[in-house]
Structure 1
Amino acid sequence: MNTWEIMKKISEKNVQAHESCAEDFDFDEFDCEEMAEGEPFVWGIFEYGTCLMRLIPENKEVNVNEFNFHKDFKDIRFFLIEKNRSFKAISRKTAESLIDAIPDAS
């Protein structure tokens, strides 16, 4: 399973063509390339963009802010992904629990 190809297909089907969308997805691609095989992350997708949240302590504060900004978007959908291993839709509540469970950076 190639995680990036699945993400790209979902994005092309569900995200409206808009300049900021392309920028979001460019950041997602960079983050995805940086991840190890099997690393878990939460991915949010909505009409005008995406947000990728790595479940690592170094990203906790950014992820909390990102999630809080996007969580109430009417059309947002969340996925729990393990790079190139699994890809499943999750609820907003599950996404929030995963973000909250990230250990604080030391």
Structure 2
Amino acid sequence: MKRKNRELYYKVQEVAYLINLSPQTLFNLIKIDRQMKGNGEEGFLPNPTKINNVQHYKQSQVKEIRDGIAKLKRGDLKKYRTKETTFQKLKKENEELREKLARLEGGEEK
């Protein structure tokens, strides 16, 4: 916690504990929020203030963060997921193999 211009500022880790969220989850949500804003969409988190090159949020922004995260519904951030799950990889591989098999069977019949 820092005090700047008579206002309290919290680090991301401190905000995470205040809103009962893991710090890594909050960092991931901040990353997705930046991607959304970079794509011209409206984000769901307020912009942090950098103090000594560390992200901080004002005490007044903690409620905004909590409300922004609470508005999210399951699947809202699916298109921003960077990692492909094992199930998704296997499903894709299965479809490719089916297409290849269909081409091979179709080629033998002619």
Report TM bin, short chain. under 0.3
Larger fraction in helix: 2
In the superposition, the TM-score normalised over structure 2's length comes to 0.24
For CA contacts below 8 A with separation 6 or more, give which structure has more relative contact order. 1
> Between Structure 1 and Structure 2, whose CA radius of gyration is higher?
2
